[in-house]
Amino acid sequence: MSTITLIRHGQANSTATDEVSYDRLSDLGHTQAQWLGQHLRDTGAHHTRLFTGTLRRHIETADGMAMDLTPTRDARLNELEYFTLAGLLSEQHGIAFPTEEHEFLAHFPTVLQHWKEGKIEGAPESYMAFQTRIRDAMTEIASESGPALVVTSGGLIAHLIAQQMELGMAATARTAVAIFHTSLHQFHPIGGHLSPILFNATPHLDTPERGLSKTNI
């Protein structure tokens, strides 16, 4: 098994209310990706493989990092469709889409719980299908040789951590909303299993002049 370092994409369009308009990096998101790539090069981080989802924000982040690795695009690494699910939840259950950050923090676990329980009709995929595809992708990447970088999304990273740590839904949701843009999360093979050994690291942002550049929304 190989070590895997998961990376959340750079800041996207935080004012979006649908999947398409969200799926592009902000100016800050592009800068975050460049800073991360520079940090990895400066510290001599060794990676032989690079994977991304097929979403625009994943690809833009990986391109901005400029790691001189040919990326493998894998749709199994794409994020759950929060905006689509939230719209269906509103239509079917009258639970309004949040307009303030504090409302989102309560809304996100509500969406996940309804989705998991099969209470959202017409969802793009079932909760179980999502869990299966991300587990399969992680297992496949880990089975090949060489340390890998994986550029993906916060919700997916949180669910992979939850799978390994056997977290409940509330803890999974809290983990997801805490994940910073371009943060690093590492899984290392221990005793035949992938174990989380690094969570939410942002060494490329942890300087006084970049303090306001650390974002999670």
C-alpha–C-alpha distance, residues 214 and 104, integer Å: 19
Confidence of residue 1 (pLDDT cuts 50, 70, 90): confident
Query: Is the CATH code 1.25.40.20 the one for domain 7-207?
Result: no
C-alpha–C-alpha distance, residues 206 and 176, integer Å: 20
Q: Which pTM does this prediction carry? A: 0.95
Radius of gyration (C-alpha) of the chain in whole angstroms:
17
| Averaged pLDDT of the chain | 95
| Sequence spans of domains, the chain | 7-207
Tell me the mean pLDDT in the region 153-157: 98
Position 32 scores a pLDDT of 98
Give the side-chain half-sphere CA count within 13 A for 68.
7
Backbone angles phi, psi at 117, to 5 degrees: -85, 5
Backbone angles phi, psi at 185, to 5 degrees: -140, 120
C-alpha–C-alpha distance, residues 186 and 16, integer Å: 29
